[in-house]
Structure 1
């Protein structure tokens, strides 16, 4: 009896995925879940989470960025970025510096430790992507990235 229930459950799961996998959004969700789980595994030894990895990368690339600009780049509420900045600052990965003439604003800058961690972690993430996308050749990867970029840009709210 157990075998039948398992077989039926397997068929139901396959049927549900067959119905859903006709949608690009569902395929993107499945791909995202795979990428997200592997990214968490890759980042765990570094002490970074996906959001802190992203924030660190933005700060490294944009020295003296404000917390408001960082929130916009990460597409999160400004209040949410404070927690991320605190986490990175407490780990000595970024510094929060006062902005002359604006007592409410801070300029964020990666520390040497933050820049070094970024360099090491960037390599790990490239390796992660190489693994996840190993079934695609270079041209297909570039096409995938280009198409995703077009979807994002074409639907960005002004």
Structure 2
């Protein structure tokens, strides 16, 4: 077999947790993207809707902080969610520059259906892990994410 036709291996990289996390994330991201398509959501818009539902009247600045994205990026995201009638952007009394974000009834309904679909997505993705392993993985990732 010609050298360029040999199977490519990545064992040198597989020794690194970060590489394995990246590979796992790419698989999760792709499946999640397909899962959220039917709701007209992407991973970032799903995440933004989750934060807004959990924190009614959150400002755009605080939403950007929570999602770890630039304020300019959150404006595009908020425009997208507002155009889909999933959230409302309301003026904050006494501060003309600030908006309070709140889910609309349609946004609440879409969230409920999308949340159930994402739970099913995670069941598929992590089917090879037992309940204890899933919990351990979630705990470890939360600890790494705090660092």
- Shift, 1:24, TM fit: 0.2
- Shift, 1:122, TM fit: 0.1
- Shift, 1:45, TM fit: 1.1
- Shift, 1:9, TM fit: 3.1
Taking a change above 3 Å as real, the CA distance of residues 6 and 37 of structure 1, as seen in their structure-2 partners, is farther
Local SS of the residue matching 1:46? coil
1:63 aligns to 2:42 (yes or no): no
Question: Which residue in the other structure is 1:126 paired with?
Answer: 119
1:105 aligns to 2:98 (yes or no): yes
Distance 2:136 2:129 in 1: 10
- TM-score by length of structure 2 reads 0.97
Query: Which 5+ residue runs of structure 2 have no aligned equivalent?
Result: none
1:9 aligns to 2:3 (yes or no): no
Local SS of the residue matching 2:69? coil
**1:49-101 deviation line (CA, Å, top 9, x unaligned):** 11000000110111000000000000000111000000000000000000001
1:32 aligns to 2:28 (yes or no): no
Pick aligned residue for 2:129 from 131, 136, 144: 136
Higher helix share: 1
**1:121-152 deviation line (CA, Å, top 9, x unaligned):** 00000000001000111111010000111111
For the aligned residue pairs, the C-alpha RMSD in angstroms reads 1.1
Query: Which 5+ residue runs of structure 1 have no aligned equivalent?
Result: none
Taking a change above 3 Å as real, the CA distance of residues 93 and 6 of structure 1, as seen in their structure-2 partners, is farther
Pick aligned residue for 2:79 from 67, 73, 86: 86
Distance 2:77 2:6 in 1: 41
How many residues in Structure 1 have an aligned counterpart in Structure 2? 147
